[in-house]
Amino acid sequence: MKLTISLDNRFWSVGAMLILATGLIIWLLPPSTDKPADVIPKKNFNTINDTSVGLSFNVSTDFEPIARDELAAMNPGFTYGFVRVDDKLAKCIVSVSKLKSPGSITATKLRGGLIRAIKKSHPSVKLVNQTESDRLLKFGASPGVLLEVSFKENGNVKNRVEIIALGNKNQVIAYCEGLTKDQARYKDAFTVFFSSFRLDD
């Protein structure tokens, strides 16, 4: 009987020691720094990087590329085109061309030339951001201007944001447009596009 009691005591003593040791190890381990997968921000744009002309920009994943033949039918001078997946009236266009001697570069000169070009297709065009378009901006290393205009097309009122950037060798004109009544839907996508635009040739 004494032998049995002695073995039981030893069993409980060893068990208690194991519990204490396990608790000490857990207490000493550093807390986990792993974050749940759902807190990792999801990339909501694709990046276009055309090293042949030093051009790069981001396009929202809400937009898909316009087919080459369709883009050429719209205008042979268009280099890139993207249209919103669920709204074919919302699109972004990029045109790259070789730069001729620009002479002196001023915001007034660039803005005037861009407005005249838009008026050829949209005579009703009106400049929305007069103050902001009065100053030169930098798109990467290249100076340029950004205009916001509105015009009527096929009975619809549209808003367009358009830029012109002059590099050392190339000129880029790019715009995004959509129905004025839908501005809230595509505002973020247009911001992604223009805030990332760079011409470093």
Examine the pLDDT at 156 and tell me if it is beyond 60: yes
What is the CATH classification number for the domain harbouring 89?
Answer: 3.40.1000.10
Q: How far apart are CA 72 and CA 95, in angstroms?
A: 11
pLDDT bin (cut points 50, 70, 90) of residue 181 is very high
Q: Residues 42-57: pLDDT tens digits?
A: 679 999 999 999 999 9
- Within a domain: residue 10? no
pTM: predicted TM-score of the whole model, two decimal places: 0.76
User: Any residues with CB less than 8 A from the CB of 107 and at least 6 apart, and which?
Assistant: 133, 134, 135, 136, 145
- Within a domain: residue 166? yes
Tell me the residue range of the domain where 72 lies. Answer: 39-199
- Within a domain: residue 6? no
- Within a domain: residue 28? no
- Say how many domains are in the chain: 1
Q: What value does the mean pLDDT take over residues 171-182? A: 95
